[in-house]
Structure 1
């Protein structure tokens, strides 16, 4: 199995010089359990910190985080790409791109922007349009209601862990926190969900219009999303080290229906949220303690049960991908990629299978996807 590697270049304090190529045991294997090796770049790029593949074309997109732009790259050979079209400016510190058939949805951490970039028939990026920002007329947030809802979900035993926010404090806190858009996910029915780590929001969009805003408890910091076959949407938080379960009711309104503490240590920062192929387990990365938390999905998808906290085998696990019986982890501050075996009985990552040097890795993309 092979992966494309995103990373930080010198403009972001890293050592990557483009989009890299990781071999995880052979290009034709569906498994990632074999020896790891990083070859030459498939194309030069400055801080391509997140990568996405077009759903049907041989085109890959990268956010160039330090440049505030997104760029397309067309595949020209087995492991070669060339730029497709011009670089498109999108905002300050773009950190994620979601590739759809006709558009890219880019999340900008620096200024909180959620930006749609139109795509031509060949996948070439065109005009960029910023969707309405949080402060530009969307419904008011309600921290107090979110906190009350979460306490009801977790029960009396864990209610004290939920931050308190009265109605007066909510407006003051919301007005002083910066917006930090972080990720977008495509849901059935043309719905797009996005996270805002700074304002503790999960926002839902249709046709470029925000139709709902779900406020999570203050200070949790929703970062990355994972859609489940049950219809639930899971959110890992950067600041509080939790996974929340969201679900839509009969009217289509999304609500907080469950959650689990990951066992994070003080100072930990949540990173990626991945899922096993059968949807039974979720895997959340925690930077700081440098661990991977395993969570079991129970019931109809609304119940999340912490299983174990395991060593990631590297430093600052920025991103990870589950490939059948293996977790492949990008250790950003260790300049390496490691692979961990997953115990088939428990679902928990165990020993390090292999490791290899990689320059400031921040993202892994299965290649071909």
Structure 2
């Protein structure tokens, strides 16, 4: 199963809400169910409970969806404007929410059945950056939890301030500031992904069209060690709005909006080396890699474009303004 979020009319899109699809033996996708929801731009599946969380962006809400009945169980206010990312801590006790327009990050307690219990913390960033039209204020774009010997740490990736601000998450869900790590000015950091088994991590530079390699040490503090173009080949005129990162084995994959490709990087060296640009439809906002197949939310093509990483013909599933596609 795959679950697809989209932009609906409230965000200028033509999607319906959340769509559940099943992948067939030859790779084709077939719609199983659909639920109406206002612009669910990000989806997160609970690791054990049969629920899915959706960030309803323009409504400023988080919806909890029961996967057995495929119906909304409840909704809660996200704590800020335009929620754009959700993540669950490893102990499954808390849900983290990044609120883009208000530059804030919220923490919510979770019950054993996956329901949201209450909001336990809310932090709001201040500041800006050199890109006047996008960095006029703080814009938290992602919250990344990690378990460490010092407890759970949460890295808030702030596109507006060119920073990664790390907090210690207490057992009661409160946030304590721990570290602030500056990215190169104008980077517009959108996402961060750690490389397992190493002290390296990678940052999507949405505004600069770059991939930033950082080294973490001590835990929660990130130092830049390299900056690379986010595509293998020059893409010509126009900006590259780098979007999503995912690691699969010894490869890192990056979606590029503008060049409209998913770029594959070799991770053999300290800094990644781009080896291929995979065409994937227009404006690839998000993708998921499942069993060697990359499923891409081609937002401006109204399609999920799926291509085998080892080579082969892509397939397309028509769906309105997709923004997120995750495995279930």
Range class of TM-score, shorter chain? 0.7 to 0.9
Q: Could you say what the CA RMSD is over the residues aligned between the two structures, in angstroms?
A: 2.3
Alignment of 1:65 onto 2:35: no
**Residues 311-363 of structure 1: per-residue CA shift (max 9 Å, x gap):** 22x111111112232211111111111111223xxxxxx55421110111111
Q: Give the conservation status (yes or no) of the 8 Å contact 1:98–1:106.
A: yes
User: Matched residues in 2 for 1:246 and 1:193: separation?
Assistant: 13
User: Matched residues in 1 for 2:75 and 2:58: separation?
Assistant: 16
Q: How far did residue 39 of structure 1 move?
A: 3.7
1:233 aligned partner: 201
**Deviating 4+ runs (over 6 angstroms):** none
2:12 aligned partner: 13
Q: Give the conservation status (yes or no) of the 8 Å contact 1:338–1:352.
A: no
1:56 aligned partner: 48
Alignment of 1:193 onto 2:160: no
Indicate the larger mover: 248-257 or 90-99: 248-257
2:39 to 40, 47, 58: 47
The SS at the match of 1:66 is: coil
1:357 aligned partner: 318
**Residues 98-121 of structure 1: per-residue CA shift (max 9 Å, x gap):** 123112110011111111122233
1:256 to 224, 229, 233: 224
1:155 aligned partner: none
Bigger-Rg structure (1/2): 1
Q: Give the conservation status (yes or no) of the 8 Å contact 1:24–1:34.
A: yes
2:85 to 93, 96, 121: 96
Gaps of 5+ in 2: 170-174
Structure 2 vs 1, CA of residues 98 and 318 (structure 1 numbering), >3 Å: closer, same or farther? same
User: Matched residues in 2 for 1:271 and 1:228: separation?
Assistant: 18
User: Matched residues in 1 for 2:78 and 2:218: separation?
Assistant: 39
2:74 aligned partner: 85
1:117 aligned partner: 108
1:215 aligned partner: 182
Q: Give the conservation status (yes or no) of the 8 Å contact 1:64–1:70.
A: yes
Q: Give the conservation status (yes or no) of the 8 Å contact 1:321–1:327.
A: yes
Structure 2 vs 1, CA of residues 257 and 6 (structure 1 numbering), >3 Å: closer, same or farther? same
User: Matched residues in 2 for 1:341 and 1:298: separation?
Assistant: 22
2:137 aligned partner: 178
User: Matched residues in 2 for 1:98 and 1:47: separation?
Assistant: 18
User: Matched residues in 1 for 2:38 and 2:176: separation?
Assistant: 32
Alignment of 1:318 onto 2:285: yes
Q: Report how many residues are paired.
A: 311
**Residues 35-66 of structure 1: per-residue CA shift (max 9 Å, x gap):** 1233430x332111111112221111111001
The SS at the match of 2:196 is: coil
User: Matched residues in 1 for 2:218 and 2:40: separation?
Assistant: 40
User: Matched residues in 2 for 1:326 and 1:55: separation?
Assistant: 21
Structure 2 length as normaliser, TM-score? Answer: 0.87
Gaps of 5+ in 1: 27-32, 144-169, 344-349
1:206 to 144, 168, 172: 168
Greater fraction helix: 1
Q: How far did residue 252 of structure 1 move?
A: 6.2
**Structure with more contact order per residue of length (Cα contacts < 8 Å, sep ≥ 6):** 1
Q: How far did residue 261 of structure 1 move?
A: 1.7
The SS at the match of 2:13 is: coil
The SS at the match of 1:303 is: coil
1:273 to 226, 240, 245: 245
Alignment of 1:298 onto 2:268: yes
Q: Give the conservation status (yes or no) of the 8 Å contact 1:259–1:304.
A: no
The SS at the match of 2:102 is: coil
Alignment of 1:325-344 (within 5 A): 325-343=292-310
User: Matched residues in 2 for 1:221 and 1:86: separation?
Assistant: 30
